[in-house]
Amino acid sequence: MAEVNSVVRAAGGVVWRRDGGATEIVLVHRPRYNDWSLPKGKLDPGEHELTAAVREVFEETAVEAVPQVRLPSIRYLTGEPGVEKSVDFWSMRAAAWTPRPADDEIEEARWVPATEAQSALSYAHDRGVVRAFLDLPPVTAVVALVRHAKAGKRHEWTGPDTERPLEPAGERDARALSGLLTLLRPDRVVSATPVRCRQTVEPLGLPLELDPAFDELHPPGPAATRLAELAGRGGTTVVCSQGKLMPPLLAALTNRADVNFHTRKGAGWVLSFAEGRLVGRDRLAPVTLQ
């Protein structure tokens, strides 16, 4: 086996839409290689992989795509000596699209029936990603569960703890987190009642619903029930909670007591649901926190 000296990181998506009663996904034809592949591309320096996936999909297909659930990543040799490429993929809902003019990089972006995509793709690694997509039930809701950003030390705050605000570093982290959450195109935002929780999701600019079920002083059962209710509404919901509640809440929701659900401040999880059933979970943290 060839020795790998460097890894090029990339990201992309299996982008789907409904046409009549059928599901279609978009493939791209690259004239340089004369191949059909999934839309993907290299991360810019310092870029988050989720940001890169949405950007590259748009650049290669002219589709505005909304990530819903992470798919398997792939790794393969690039053909350059000692260089391997690692690609992170998401299933993405097509929110809008226009015909993409041909250029030297992408000759055509074509919608094909999802069941025919594997036979159209040139590479086995892309076919494996599509197979994983086809094995998933359709995602009907996404909940981004996040922990509030940094709010200074508890013992240095003289007022009520529920009124302790974000510190400047926390405000920066909240803005970075908001940039990722915006990619999910949230429909609603729900927050625990402390000020630091509200401030963490305020950069999203959406109406804010306060719900004490997500306060860490409460047991995880009601929070898990409430989160499932929010998923039942469909669309995308952002929920901001607290560090002591999130691990038992996620354990109750997933029925996985063996998983370490500790979540850093200003980070969270993307939870994907299919008709009320959890079908995907993925850690979400801005690049500055990784």
Task: Specify whether the CB–CB gap between 25 and 14 falls below 8 A.
Answer: yes
Burial of 47 (0-12, 13-18, 19+ CB in 10 A): middle
Task: Specify whether the CB–CB gap between 243 and 225 falls below 8 A.
Answer: no
Residue with tokens 């995308």: 236
Model pLDDT, residue 289: 53
Task: Find how far residue 12's CA is from the centre of its chain.
Answer: 12
pLDDT digits (tens, 9 = 90+) for 60-108: 999 999 999 999 999 988 777 788 999 999 999 999 999 999 999 999 9
Q: Enter the tokens of residue 103.
A: 């250029």
Pairing state of beta strands 141-147 and 235-241?
A: parallel
Does the structure show a pLDDT above 90 at 4? no
Task: Specify whether the CB–CB gap between 143 and 231 falls below 8 A.
Answer: yes
Does the structure show a pLDDT above 70 at 2? no
Quote the CA–CA distance of 148 and 200 in Å, as a whole number: 6
Does the structure show a pLDDT above 80 at 1? no
Residue with tokens 């029925």: 255
Residue with tokens 């109750």: 252
Quote the CA–CA distance of 216 and 244 in Å, as a whole number: 6
- For residue 87, report the phi and psi dihedrals to the nearest 5 degrees: -120, 125
Does the structure show a pLDDT above 80 at 150? yes
- The CB density around residue 227, as the number of other CB atoms within 10 Å, is 27
Q: How confident is the model at residue 290 (pLDDT cuts 50, 70, 90)?
A: very low
pLDDT digits (tens, 9 = 90+) for 214-267: 999 999 999 999 999 999 999 999 999 999 999 999 999 998 989 999 999 999
Average pLDDT over residues 9-35: 95
SS3 of residue 14 by DSSP = strand
